[in-house]
Structure 1
């Protein structure tokens, strides 16, 4: 018999509409609705959620999860000094992340008072002076300046300018924890660190291959593009260990016909569930099938690439049995995938953190690039590489210079424009910053947005490392876990949100963002600030800079008072941003451009590069020798009521979870082999070369996932990720491939 569990409702539809309406607070409906209709609109603000590009002329541009992000920011709830007076930091540490983040907007600057274990109010100028006193008491490389992807281009540019004037490149950011492998792999293979496709390509692709990605939860507006592509006959080919509702069927909440008739659109034409980490073998199988069937693009390979011979030889020497074993798919499935690929004249590969958060992430992405290149699927309509970034301006932050390993060209242009010699020594990434804190080589930590203590790996070690700091500073809109993991001194500096009007010298300001497909456009707030004490992020950065830098060649006060002046400076420094102020004011902004899309290869050889990679090391087998307990591979993931570390509710509608988060998804055979049943409770233990890490009391949920694979939510499972377990060459935590065993309770 078919049950609702066997044939669940589609993604989107009435469920999404109901969830959106449930997020509207009583008494705040008018403000919320006014804000939602201005989201991602030309005269409105860019959603503070994901980086999916806006569709020109669409009447409604927000999705369910975007609505959650917006309502979370425009909440009527407030975290005032009275709240902190009523609760010690030690008490707040016992609250779960959901409860913390539901307290509302921060209203004024606060300083941690260790004697009372409470945050107390502090004046803005006193806060800036405190930061300056700490920074000027240490060597520049003993400070780390973290950045979240929510930050706008102008703030990011001002922030990195201050940090380099101060004297360091210690600019870890959220890219280090998500798409760092994408940037590094693409730069070496294609000569650009960004994806090569635009939104228009979705209307021209004959096949879209989706690897390690769950758009229904992480960037739901992508489902509209997939729906339209499926309707015109495009093959949607999905690779995901979990069978995700958001990739199977979609009911568009913006389609009256589908909503009123309760119809839905099938999305995935083909759905494959590889073992966790099996994507590199799938990419190798695509190349092998292409070569064995003579379907390679000889002209493109000859004119535009180098390194093909090495890849060709490596693939020829790789047996199909090896690819079957490594991928977790059958030979028949690999042949079917190969036939789909070679039949398509324009194929796009998209991927998310299911690809990037692995030890062999860079190698996997470069193997995907090899598969694209062998068919000439770069630099033509409907084809190309499409890493789908997470936070709304994480890509723009990198463009603006938030990079611990900046290029010499960027530093030269920055120094020439601003009249100083920037530091050239490479800085620390996220995992390197934590290691520096542990080793006593770091004294001050400043975070521009984000929730560093919750987002990072190896939670116990990370929290201990943060507590060694002389000063921790968090520039934030709402309360989160990081505010409670304090240095000896600590500050919370509340800032304006994306939805709020930013007035400087009587003039409403605008900031710009860059989406996942390199479109740069303006965003402007539409509502009054949550508190008169809030300051804009550029104001806060300028305040720190003015207090810290004794003899700055840059007038930070003028820049923070007129964002057009920041953009004029950006135009002098960042290649491709000429005439920035004029171009960004065009309807829809402007396309930053992509050299590989034009088949201009900015690599060392001047051509697109095939990069040969052998199969990755079997890390699970190495670690199995350290324990008698049979190991499984755990991947962390978001629930549907979550964005990054922000938890909107304890539910996961698409996976059938209600009012809980300590859930472990497992194949029924793996449960039976361990004497467990659906609903049993277990502790999860990860195994690493330095020992074990344990988290307690998870409910196991039988689920459609390959044998040997597990899944659970982060940040609850971040304590299991060893700091040293990261992507080779990119240092991104390998949170999608954690070797674990289960202990029944």
Structure 2
């Protein structure tokens, strides 16, 4: 959606008429005003399909309109009448397409045919499915070692496709599963199990109806999970205090106008969301968390001396946790001047927030990638778990820890086996059920896969969805690694940047979208997905496929498996794909937690995968939840040089992950452009610059490589000192490949040390 580039103040609440206008505009832009509206009525319904966007759960009692503005954009993007055909590729070379913006690439429309790269013409040309499968098989079979292939997964892949995918890859002989979660919530998957024994959240949607307070850290729900706003609005209207910590004063954290509420819409009123919104410095979350806990510990000592009752839940702590004594010592020795300096908040603000938390009998702690995408993201998550454990806020109604996942099935993919570090128990069950010996050695995650590719130790890259070339860090290093591969393969619905950053041979395999009818030999099929709160439910497309040449993801996996493994395979690939019930039966056999899968998936709303931590059963070596220490206050290395700024990458409101729905971001007042740097007026003046100046952003690094992006306009914004923000993925080139959390390997997209310098007049604006 093209608009004249401009910056202007936007004062409207989140949601409201602006959201309705945006939905209508996107449906019209994709030429689907009627078809799109009809499709939306089936989204997130018991007999419909699951939103291909975020992983926020569905309420048990659905209305006719269970979609949000950004979910509607995702549907418009998928259901579009625009088509990216062989004729399109004949008109445009890959080199030419490389100059297009990400928005322009995806606006080319739905992919319609399998395509292969022709180096002589620098174009993608059509290829038959059998020939495509044979090409992949030839490259895989030729590898001296199966570990020289990388198998990436996007979070939109269904449970059925993900299970078949990992089954094929393990029968092929490797555990190399770089996954999109490596770049977002891996810090949760690694950090939380050490604290509470599970790598998932412990709340259900109905807990938001029972809680006494909600704390939100590093999450922008109005853009990243807008349906969450209903729960926050309802809580706020019944008097539940919501306390938010975020560098931005995100519009949805301030106030929300519910599009489905006629009173608010007609009266132009809105609901305040956050009782307090604290603008923490980029990378200051651990300091805030330690400050909150320090207040609690000190108040607890005082109240116990006065016999006025404890602040900490000592019955829970003594019965269910270990490590409290060491944690208390650490908190006592942490000084308030250090907490204030690193967090950017005054002691009084932290104390006020702590008292709200202490007064609540039941509290939910929500967090997003603002906490996980740091050099010590897993430690961040563990300190958040400490905050919950000190008050017994795990394992009771209306309370718990709530990581807000991104893509609609990023959690489910992991549950059914997409992991580079499989447990021996899982591999044993998989091998026993199918009759083969899976590989035992741990495989590659995204960072280690990119490193192996850069060393020439990996030669084939296969991606089940996603847009990894845009999502990964350090483009000048990582894109060169991709271009050195023998083969790259992408299963996709639309054209994106990854198709243009390809190996010597390359394939694009077009697949069905979530909204489309999936018909196999056994009839029309449903798939299943797991949301952020471990609810598993069915998804059944309703629309005619965009092209007769599209195949489902399970069918594509099965085709590659048959071509690659041939008669040595122990799996009935044809039978599995003919009827997805058989895939679910196999999932149940390998993962007992899915007991009764096929029957339970047919119940409207699906079923919950039991969380042991929610039941206060701690799957840790000690058998208890662990209060874990972190030495210091910085979740990113903190250089002393005052000229260095901490850059955090953010999504625009018209964006989901790397998918750009338009070039605008209305909540932040940016229209028709993305080449901006949000920064305070004080930081601008401190550097002798003025609002509107163009600057280059340069990473502070010690490896001799200059990482820079050019021509960003300074936009004054209320932001903490030494902090700034710009859009993802445009700033991904600034993140060195080696800048990641050593526990989870999550790249530090939310904590990038940069300098800004005045752009040269010849600098090309991005």
Partner of 1:9: 12
Which 4+ residue blocks in structure 1 deviate beyond 3 angstroms?
4-7, 616-624
Change (3 A) 1:616 1:466: farther
**Candidates 235, 255, 279, aligned match of 1:249:** 255
Find out whether 1:61 has 2:70 as its counterpart. Answer: no
What residue is the counterpart of 1:116 in the other structure? 121
Q: Quick one: which of 689, 707, 710 aligns to 1:693?
A: 707
| Contact in 2 for aligned 1:623/1:689 (Cα 8 Å) | no
| In structure 2, C-alpha distance between the alignment counterparts of 1:623 and 1:448, rounded to whole Å | 43
Task: Note closer, same or farther for the CA distance 1:391–1:215 as it changes in structure 2 (3 Å cut).
Answer: same
Distance 1:328 1:572, change over 3 A: same
Aligned with 2:50 (options 26, 46, 50): 46
- The alpha-carbon deviation at position 675 of structure 1 amounts to 1.5
In 2, the alpha carbon distance for the partners of 1:299 and 1:150 equals: 42
Rounded Cα–Cα distance in structure 2 between residues aligned with 1:615 and 1:206: 31
Please list the CA deviations of residues 465-513 of structure 1 after superposition, one character each: whole Å capped at 9, or x if unmatched: 0011100000000000000111000000000000000001261100000
Give 1:606's aligned residue: 623
TM-score, normalisation: structure 2: 0.95
Structure 1 residue 515, shift from structure 2 partner: 0.2
Q: SS state of the match for residue 461, structure 2?
A: strand
Work out whether residues 648 and 749 of structure 2, in 8 Å CA contact, stay in contact via their aligned partners in 1.
yes
In structure 2, relative to structure 1, the CA distance for the partners of 1:432 and 1:639 (3 Å cut) is: same
Equivalents in 2 of 1:230, 1:5: separation in Å?
A: 29
CA–CA distance in structure 2, aligned partners of residues 618 and 343 of structure 1: 28
Query: In structure 2, what is the equivalent of residue 743 of structure 1?
Result: 757
The Cα shift of 1:58 comes to 2.2
Aligned to 2:174: 168
- Cα drift, residue 617 of structure 1: 5.3
1:418 shift after superposition: 1.0
Q: In structure 1, which of residues 331, 334, 337 is the aligned counterpart of residue 350 of structure 2? A: 334
1:375 maps to 391
**3-state SS of 1:23 partner:** helix
1:528 to 1:737, Cα distance in 2 relative to 1, 3 A: same
1:360 to partner: Cα distance: 1.2
Is 2:196 the counterpart of 1:196?
A: no
CA distance in 2, matches of 1:421, 1:369: 37
The farther-off stretch of 608-617 and 664-673 is 608-617
In structure 2, the gaps of 5 or more residues are 1-6, 301-310, 760-766
Checking the alignment, whether the CA contact within 8 Å between 2:283 and 2:636 is kept in structure 1 is: no
1:577 matched to which residue of 2?
594
Counterpart contact for 1:173–1:429, Cα < 8 Å: yes
Q: Secondary structure at the match of 2:405?
A: coil
Question: Among residues 675, 680, 703, which one is paired with 1:667 in the alignment?
Answer: 680
Identify if the C-alpha distance between structure 1 residues 734 and 210 changes in structure 2 by more than 3 Å, giving closer, same or farther. Answer: same
Structure 1 pair 680/6, CA: closer, same or farther in 2 (3 Å)? closer
Corresponding residue SS for 1:547:
helix
1:130 maps onto 2:147 in alignment? no
In structure 1, what is the Cα distance between the partners aligned to 2:294 and 2:729?
38
Kindly state the Cα deviation for residue 28 of structure 1 after the two structures are TM-superposed.
2.3
Would you say 1:653 and 2:669 are equivalent positions?
no
The answer on 1:510 being equivalent to 2:526 is: yes
Kindly state the Cα deviation for residue 622 of structure 1 after the two structures are TM-superposed.
4.2
Given the superposition, is the C-alpha separation of residues 655 and 425 from structure 1 closer, same or farther in structure 2, using an over 3 Å criterion? Answer: same
Output aligned runs, 1:228-267, within 5 Å: 228-267=234-273
> Equivalents in 2 of 1:179, 1:704: separation in Å?
28
Q: Matched residues in 1 for 2:476 and 2:10: separation?
A: 41
Q: Which residue of the other structure, out of 17, 20, 24, is the alignment partner of 2:27?
A: 24
1:423 & 1:365 partners in 2: Cα distance? 31
Contact 1:97 1:647 in 2 (8 A): yes
Aligned to 1:568: 585
Please state whether the residue corresponding to 1:688 is helix, strand or coil: coil
Pair 1:96-2:91 in alignment: no
TM-score (norm 1): 0.98
In 1, Cα distance between the equivalents of 2:470 and 2:636? 26
